[in-house]
Amino acid sequence: MKRNHCTVAVVVLLLASHALHSPAQIAGEHIATSQDHPVAAIQDTETAAQRDARMAWWREARFGMFIHWGLYSIPAGTWNGKQIPSIGEWIMNRASIPVADYKALASQFNPTAFSAHDIVALAKSAGMKYIVITAKHHDGFAMFDSKADPFNIVAATPFHRDPLRELAEECRKQGVKLGFYYSQDQDWTAPGGAAYKTGNHDLPSHHWDPAQDGDFASYLHTKAIPQLKELLTNYGDFPVVIWFDTPTVDMTPALAGEIVALLNQHPNLIWNNRLGGGYKGDTETPEQYIPAQGYPGRDWEACMTMNDTWGYKSYDTNFKSTETLLRNLIDIASKGGNYLLNIGPDSKGNVPPAEIERLQQVGKWLAVNGEAIYGTHATLFGSEAGSFSTTEKDKEGKPKFIPTWNWRSTTTDDTIYIELFSWPKGSFHLDKLPRTITGAYLLADKSKKSLKITKSGGGIDITLPGQALDPIATVLVLKTK
């Protein structure tokens, strides 16, 4: 499809709420289904047991680090002296920066403070089990050594290093898994790559520079697919995840099928639901929110920022508290999902101190209480998460979910964990017992002192000490049979 200003405008109208919806919903008038697929994806052909084996490490992990890092960390939210609204990595689009001007940033990009060792160690100290880094974001700049396109960190910058290779080596050494985010559809500096306005989905879409006009299939064949091949073959046992983003109607089932044929050659790979062309991928990807009840029967991963941007913005200091981050992690785990929490290094490669501080605090909690998160399953209860309002509606006009924050629960085959946010006076009451409880103690209590369990109505009371052991969340362990 030849792409110019008008076709892109149509694409964008169809994309009205791209970020929070599946590619099938995004794809517009014709919702592609698996019958439309010229190439069957591995998810359509594997057995349940094969799928469980493929997803096993990911389900065990529960907590990962997202890294948005690229040339946009140089302007860091400001262009020509003006603070540009919206997320930092969108600055080229939101400020309509000409392709040549944006590409010129590459000659200034020299992130000498970047340390793969420190970033992987930070992820580890936070209790994160995997990292997903932007190999190429919508600006089209490759953060890796690419022979397919010269607009990359090795060929076009004074840095000349490949951070993905360095991260892969460190991840191997430190026992963390590595995945790559790749913007397969939007590419604002390659002719034919998609470009649309977002942040405010009502804004019309446009190419703001004739240098962007071109043919989408050619872009895919000359840049995106060759680069995906490089990413899939040049980094040894990584990537374990390919994280696609913002598919448009141009990603037809046939074009997406060409990518799927490539992905199928890597049978252990996990990829998300944002490829396009109607492919469901492995994971649902709610962004910046936690679904009320998770996605029963589907693997899912909530991706979130710590402040209000993915890519570094020098003046965004609106950081969530450690309490919020930790509650999010627990809430997500209690609904059977993973938490992919973002950091946005600056143009020198430094991770903002506010992000380091919070990650280390979350890691401290996990060092004591990780057993209640890693490898656990969703709650056996459910009503503790909150309820749907009978009066208030959400943006889609559906009953609004009102969360409550007293406790959450996660489970394994022989244990129920209760993560207590508010400390009950005297005892914790459970009126529904999904399993027989054989004993109780607090996870942060090294002596595992047994807590008294008393029958109460149809349920039980567990006698608790006077004080919580952790100001954010104390975990009550219930052994079960």
Stretch that binds ligand FHN, among 27-35, 84-92, 377-385, 422-430 (CB under 6 A): 84-92
- With binding defined as CB under 6 A, does residue 87 bind ligand FHN? yes
Closest separation in Å from C-beta 383 to ligand FHN: 30
How far apart are alpha carbons 244 and 51 in whole angstroms? 20
The residues in 228-267 that bind ligand FHN, with binding defined as CB under 6 A, are 245-246
Would the CA dihedral through 288, 293, 295, 301 be positive or negative? Answer: positive
Are residues 123 and 176 in contact, defined by beta-carbon separation less than 8 angstroms? yes
Closest separation in Å from C-beta 103 to ligand FHN: 19
Closest separation in Å from C-beta 354 to ligand FHN: 19
List the one residue out of 165, 263, 143, 331 whose CA is nearest residue 341: 331
CB-wise, 32 or 303, nearer to ligand FHN? Answer: 303
Closest separation in Å from C-beta 160 to ligand FHN: 26
List the one residue out of 266, 270, 192, 265 whose CA is nearest residue 224: 192
Closest separation in Å from C-beta 89 to ligand FHN: 5
Note the Cα 464 to chain centre separation in Å: 36
How far apart are alpha carbons 60 and 64 in whole angstroms? 11
**DSSP for 1-37, written as a single string:** -EE-HHHHHHHHHHTTTGGGS-HHHHT-SS---GGG-
CB-wise, 149 or 245, nearer to ligand FHN? Answer: 245
Report CA-CA distances (Å) from 475 to 370, 371, 405. Answer: 10, 10, 14
List of E strands, 290-435: 299-304, 338-343, 386-393, 399-403, 407-412, 415-420, 427-430
Closest separation in Å from C-beta 5 to ligand FHN: 20
CB-wise, 198 or 376, nearer to ligand FHN? Answer: 198
The residues in 270-289 that bind ligand FHN, with binding defined as CB under 6 A, are 287
With residue 361 as reference, give the H or E element that holds it. helix 353-369
CB-wise, 219 or 310, nearer to ligand FHN? Answer: 310
- With binding defined as CB under 6 A, does residue 310 bind ligand FHN? yes
How far apart are alpha carbons 445 and 367 in whole angstroms? 13
List the one residue out of 219, 151, 155 whose CA is nearest residue 186: 219
Closest separation in Å from C-beta 84 to ligand FHN: 14
Q: Is 14 exposed, middle or buried (0-12, 13-18, 19+ CB in 10 A)?
A: middle
| Binds ligand FHN (CB under 6 A): choice among 91, 231, 303, 475 | 303
Token pair for residue 246?
């913002």
- With binding defined as CB under 6 A, does residue 185 bind ligand FHN? no
| Binds ligand FHN (CB under 6 A): choice among 9, 13, 14, 19 | 19
- With binding defined as CB under 6 A, does residue 308 bind ligand FHN? no
Binding track over 109-138 against ligand FHN, x by CB under 6 A: ------------------------------
Closest separation in Å from C-beta 395 to ligand FHN: 16
Stretch that binds ligand FHN, among 82-90, 232-240, 263-271, 381-389 (CB under 6 A): 82-90
- With binding defined as CB under 6 A, does residue 209 bind ligand FHN? no
Task: Return residues touching ligand FHN (CB under 6 A).
Answer: 19, 87, 89-90, 198, 245-246, 287, 303, 310
